[in-house]
Amino acid sequence: MKITVVGAGNVGATCANCIAQKELANEVIIVDIKDGLSEGKALDMWQTAPINYYDTRVKGVTNDYAATAGSEVVVITSGLPRKPGMSRDDLIATNAGIVKSVTENVIAHSPDAIIIIVSNPLDVMTYAAFLTAKKASNKVFGMAGVLDTARYRAFLAEELNVSPKDIQALLMGGHGDTMVPLPRYTTVAGIPVTDLIEEDKLNAIIERTKFGGGELVNLMGTSAWYAPGAAAAQMVEAIVRDQKRIFPVCALLNGEYGMKDIFLGVPVVLGKNGIEKVIEVKLNTEEMELLKGSAEAVKSVMKVLDEMNILS
């Protein structure tokens, strides 16, 4: 088993480190365009193996996609990070070109790989990778919902002073300000969260979740990495161990929720074949309207990308 992470920045390195420590593969390959960066980070990680007791070999390469040949799963984190005052949409042209090039190289050496996109703007970069890869949509999808629900659950655990392990939540829609957290599908050890928290506090947590990425950018001057990297690694684990985990994932819709030809965050069953099923939960009128609004926001950015003709 070989897993490749493209991009040795903070998110990619964190993801690779989590994958290695979980021993999800015999070998983890980290690829980057900056000479020596992936080699150095991989060497540093490998030197933790005797301390953290894992056997996964970690190898870094500079622009050498031949080293990635035969990868079962590839996580693409490449692209520019957001800076303060920069919207995700500002990144479209540059990052779409990067994702296109990376995806072409990945497919050339690992045609059967399942591809997970982490690059921003997430929904549209997943769309770009799908068009470039020319693979079935269950094999190309994006990481967003796992991260967003983790933030939502972390905030709830803090407010309620309970273990985050006991909080289950569902969040749908685009990765960004129009995401749709669903309190009706949020529970604490099986107890509806609405029974445990006042409505105004819950609404405040939902709003904080929607802007969770921006909050971290404002604090640090760059995008988050610990939680995004760990979230992508959790998706990899579900795939390589065929866990059949139910996660919100940025997936291509083919009629589900009355939508087609759009990548949007929805709950799916994740296993060895990638997305094994898209789950259609029952949404009330208000929830469906919010999801449609989120979809329209994603479609508008997809249209911007289409009009750039980068992928033609």
- Quick check: 180 and 295 in contact, CB under 8 A? no
Q: Sort strands 171-172 and 191-192 into parallel, antiparallel or unpaired.
A: unpaired
Same domain, 164 and 82: no
User: What does the pLDDT average to over 44-58?
Assistant: 98
On whether both 98 and 137 belong to a single domain, the answer is: yes
Distance CA 175, CA 157 (A): 22
Question: What is the rounded distance in angstroms from the CA atom of residue 169 to the CA atom of residue 223?
Answer: 23
Summary mean pLDDT of the chain: 95
187 or 91, which is more confident: 187
109 assigned to active site: no
Residues 123 and 172 in one domain: no
Predicted local confidence at residue 80, as pLDDT: 83
pLDDT in tens, 243-263: 999 999 999 999 999 999 999
pLDDT at residue 312, rounded to an integer? 74
Summarize pLDDT for 187-241 with one digit per residue, the tens: 999 999 999 999 999 999 999 999 999 999 899 988 899 999 999 999 999 999 9
pLDDT computed for residue 282 by the predictor? 97
Could you tell me if 94 and 76 lie in one domain? Answer: yes
How far apart (Å, rounded) are the C-alpha atoms in residues 128 and 117? 10
pLDDT computed for residue 112 by the predictor: 98
Is pLDDT at 39 greater than 80 in this prediction?
yes
Q: Could you identify the residue written with the tokens 């999808």?
A: 141
Per the annotation, binding residues for NAD(+) are 7-12, 32, 95, 118-120
Residue-level pLDDT at 142: 98
Under 8 Å between Cβ of 249 and 275: yes
Query: Does one domain contain both 113 and 178?
Result: no
- Rounded to an integer, the average pLDDT of 65-90 is 84
CB of 33 closer than 8 Å to CB of 62: yes
Residue 88 has pLDDT above 90, yes or no: no
> pLDDT band at residue 86, thresholds of 50, 70 and 90?
low
* pLDDT band at 87; cut points 50, 70, 90: low
The pLDDT of residue 103 is: 98
Provide mean pLDDT across the span 153-174.
Answer: 98
Question: Which range is least confidently modeled, 78-82, 100-104, 234-238, 298-302?
Answer: 78-82
Residues annotated in a binding site:
7-12, 32, 82, 88, 95, 118-120, 151
Q: Which of 25-34, 51-60, 105-114, 172-181 has the lowest mean pLDDT?
A: 172-181
Q: If pLDDT is split at 50, 70 and 90, which confidence band does 74 have?
A: very high
Q: Is the dihedral of CA 73, 294, 279, 182 positive or negative?
A: positive
Q: How many CA atoms, within 13 angstroms, populate the side-chain half-sphere of residue 197?
A: 25
Query: How many domains is the chain partitioned into structurally?
Result: 2
Query: pLDDT-derived band of residue 311, with 50, 70 and 90 as boundaries?
Result: confident
Residue type, 283: L
**Same domain flag for 180 and 130:** no
Q: Give me the domain span that covers residue 59.
A: 2-143
CATH of the domain at 295: 3.90.110.10
pLDDT of residue 84: 67
Last residue of a domain, one of 108, 143, 178: 143
Instruction: Assign residue 23 the CATH number of its domain.
Output: 3.40.50.720
Write down the pLDDT at residue 222: 85
3-state DSSP assignment of residue 269: strand
pLDDT score of 157 more than 70: yes
Residue among 153, 175, 210, 299 flagged as catalytic = 175
Query: So what's the pLDDT on residue 22?
Result: 98
Q: What is the pLDDT of residue 82?
A: 64
Classify 223 as helix, strand or coil: coil
Q: Could you say which DSSP state residue 137 is in?
A: G
Q: Which two tokens stand for residue 29?
A: 């390959």
- The band of 305, judged by pLDDT with boundaries at 50, 70 and 90, is very high
115/230 same-domain check: no
Angle at CA 168, nearest 5°, toward 166 and 170?
165
Alpha helices in the chain (DSSP H): 10-21, 37-46, 49-52, 92-109, 122-133, 145-160, 199-210, 212-220, 226-240, 285-308
Last residue of a domain, one of 121, 143, 165: 143
- Cis peptide bond prior to 121, omega within 30° of 0: yes
Which parts are annotated binding residues for substrate?
82, 88, 120, 151
Please report how many Cα atoms fall inside a 13 Å half-sphere around the Cα of residue 225, on the Cβ side. 19
Q: In sequence order, what DSSP letters do the residues of 66-118 get, joined into one string? A: GGGTT-SEEEE--SPPP-TT--GGGGHHHHHHHHHHHHHHHHHH-TT-EEEE-
For 94-117, what is each residue's pLDDT tens digit?
899 999 999 999 999 999 999 999
Which of these, 303, 261, 297, lies nearest to 177 by C-alpha position? 297
Instruction: Out of 143, 172, 206, pick the residue that ends a domain.
Output: 143
